[in-house]
């Protein structure tokens, strides 16, 4: 898998700090404390053929209020209640299949438990529900299920086509993710199908700071798990090596180097032994 394919694979998963021991025993979440917020990620202007599209974020009063990812994922307006994201309304996302896509964030004791995506205005409407499970102060699993409508959610107790991501950690960074396709029900949980799982292995982390950790936890989960599957967004740092393994395909390895500023925040991403940045990170300081 090339960097470009990874980048376009829907888009962005995890400095999450909670309390508790058993799954779902969570009381609080926390993101990196900083006087900056990421406002741009994209190709270095010096590149003649950039391999990533621009991703820009609008900042107002210390919050991300809008994003613009261009043709590949459209735009989004972010709504808050206090410091918690409640809704994201998109435009030019998955058009012309759907003319209207909205995401609703559901919490339990201020901890994000679900993101519901309502896709309408198309020939076939649908609802996606991303369920977030916690264990030992971190996200342990993400389960993304597809439904036809609200009635399907309440009646489909055994047959919701779903994709599960199970996380293993090394400190505050993801070490491995196991992806399975199967079915989900509220009563029985997730049941894997017959397809072989895919393993995402993250290695050789730097001590440089992840630019996306300047975002609220909820926004990082959304970017890494709804708009994309770029789970390194959720980590404290960035890995230099990512390996994708599936018995039905060749293994794929991605490698990268990073440069940071005097405070340790990553400012550019490079191919190994290539001084020309393939992507840069710009911040708004407040």
d(CA 169, CA 178): 12
Residue segments in the chain with a per-residue pLDDT below the cut of 70: 1-33, 45-53, 94-95, 156-158
pLDDT in tens, 162-173: 999 999 999 999
d(CA 126, CA 74): 19
> Nearest Cα to 202, choosing from 248, 235, 164, 165?
235
* C-alpha atoms less than 13 angstroms from C-alpha of 50 in its C-beta half-sphere: 16
pLDDT of residue 157: 64
Beta carbons of 184 and 203 less than 8 angstroms apart: no
d(CA 164, CA 136): 19
pLDDT of residue 12: 34
d(CA 274, CA 271): 5
pLDDT of residue 228: 75
pLDDT of residue 33: 57
Token pair in block for residue 32:
């990196």
- Rg of the chain on CA atoms, in Å: 18
pLDDT of residue 143: 95
pLDDT of residue 158: 66
d(CA 73, CA 67): 10
pLDDT of residue 200: 94
Q: Provide the 3-class DSSP secondary structure of residue 207.
A: coil
pLDDT of residue 149: 86
pLDDT of residue 13: 34
d(CA 10, CA 6): 8
Taking CA 88 as the corner, what is the angle to CA 84 and CA 90, rounded to the nearest 5 degrees? 165
Q: With 0-12 CB in 10 A as exposed, 13-18 as middle and 19+ as buried, what is 10?
A: middle
pLDDT of residue 55: 86
pLDDT of residue 207: 95
d(CA 72, CA 232): 19
d(CA 284, CA 23): 36
Pick the CATH number of 3-285 from 3.40.50.720, 2.30.30.140, 2.40.160.150, 3.40.1050.10: 2.40.160.150
């Amino acid at each position: 898998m090339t960097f470009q394919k990874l980048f376009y694979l829907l888009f962005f998963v995890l400095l999450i700090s909670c309390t508790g021991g058993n799954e779902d025993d969570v009381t609080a979440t926390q993101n990196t404390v900083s006087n900056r917020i990421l406002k741009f990620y994209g190709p270095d202007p010096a590149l003649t053929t950039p391999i990533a599209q621009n991703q820009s974020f609008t900042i107002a009063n210390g919050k991300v209020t809008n994003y613009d990812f261009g043709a590949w994922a459209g735009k989004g307006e972010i709504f808050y209640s206090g410091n918690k994201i409640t809704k994201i309304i998109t435009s030019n996302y998955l058009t012309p299949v759907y003319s209207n896509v909205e995401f609703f964030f559901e919490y339990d004791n201020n901890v994000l438990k679900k993101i519901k995506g309502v896709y309408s205005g198309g020939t076939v409407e649908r609802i996606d529900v991303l369920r977030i499970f916690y264990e030992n102060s971190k996200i342990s699993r993400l389960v993304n299920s597809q439904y036809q409508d609200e009635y399907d959610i309440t009646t489909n107790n055994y047959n919701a086509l779903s994709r599960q991501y199970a996380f293993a950690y090394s400190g505050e960074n993801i070490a491995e993710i196991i992806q399975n396709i199967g079915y989900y029900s509220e009563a029985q949980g997730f049941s894997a199908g017959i397809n072989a799982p895919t393993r995402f292995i993250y290695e050789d982390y730097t001590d440089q700071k992840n630019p996306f950790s300047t975002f609220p936890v909820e926004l990082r989960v959304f970017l890494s798990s709804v708009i994309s599957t770029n789970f390194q967004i959720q980590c404290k740092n960035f890995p230099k090596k990512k390996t994708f393994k599936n018995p039905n395909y060749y293994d794929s390895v991605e490698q990268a180097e990073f440069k940071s500023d005097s405070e340790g925040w990553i400012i550019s991403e490079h191919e190994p032994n290539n001084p020309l940045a393939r992507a840069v990170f710009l911040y708004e300081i407040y």
